[in-house]
Structure 1
């Protein structure tokens, strides 16, 4: 059971996909001065996110690296399939139904799930229920019809 010190925020994707949402959340995380760890289940998605972060905006990119590459501890944003907090991240991003694991060392954890995918939606609901029963500090965010994020729980 994960520790309850961290805030755990669920982001329910309905109007936008992961490629539109993740870079913006990572950018805001970096604006706070925090490092981030992005945990995924598949190498294919890891490749996609890696490319998206380099090309996110024409005028800027999000500096990052992979946990499997040298100097992982220096990366402001670290992409990983294993989830070890090699870069001392304060923010953990869970995508692709990756394992949450121990949240003790993070200030905030983001669980991003696709509400248009029934399997992902069911897994997020079950995860919420288990974390809630464990006393976790939870918040639920969803997009308004205009595309802004609103806290719904």
Structure 2
């Protein structure tokens, strides 16, 4: 399995890579990129990996900007230190949503779910990502209205 890590915190990226390899030594972390711009460029220039492990908040913006700029058909495991209101949307529309710091048990469960679902990359529609983005934006607007 080929995995691209999109994470702007060096230690978090290294921890993710270490946990992926602990789960399965045969996982190939094809690269680690740390920004929306670099991730977008990487995905345009390279063959899509089997799975994306994506931090939501990057130094140059939200990782959702990647999905707005280019169609991405990969399954995604999102990671973040906050945005707990988004968890429900992600649980329905993506493989998983993991809170940082990542731990082996949570990542293992997400990877097991990935394998159980036996994703066919051709059948994953980028519209699913768009629905996730819309759901989060709606939740964020509702949260802002409460204040």
Structure ranking higher in strand proportion: 1
Q: Normalising by structure 1, report the TM-score.
A: 0.39
Q: Relative contact order, CA 8 A, sep 6+: which one is greater?
A: 1
Q: Normalising by structure 2, report the TM-score.
A: 0.40
